[in-house]
Amino acid sequence: MKFNTAALVAVSAAALSLAACSESVEEAQEDLAEQQGESAEDLLEEQADLAEAQGNEAQEEALDAEADAMGEAGDQAEDMVEEEAM
């Protein structure tokens, strides 16, 4: 069976494009998850600021602690993804 060289090149290029697309989709999903986590963390921090302004120190401390824990969890998840990529 003879294959046309141009056809083989086209098939190879298409396969590489599909591989690049899947990587791009995966990266986009990771970026979206990271942004959503950061947004949730920012929201908690703003709620903590509001609680502080209202004089509710206990609620402010609890919200700050929750925001800090969320940030640390995000950092750990990011580190794990980077370690897996290596």
Number of domains the chain contains: 1
Examine residue 8 and state whether it is found in any structural domain, yes or no.
no
Examine residue 48 and state whether it is found in any structural domain, yes or no.
yes
What is the pLDDT averaged over residues 39-49? Answer: 93
Domain that holds residue 39: 24-85
- The DSSP line for the chain is ----HHHHHHHHHHHHHHHHHHHHHHHHHHHHHHHHHHHHHHHHHHHHHHHHHTT-HHHHHHHHHHHHHHHHHHHHHHHHHHHHH-
pTM of the model: 0.65
**Percent over 70 (pLDDT), the chain:** 72
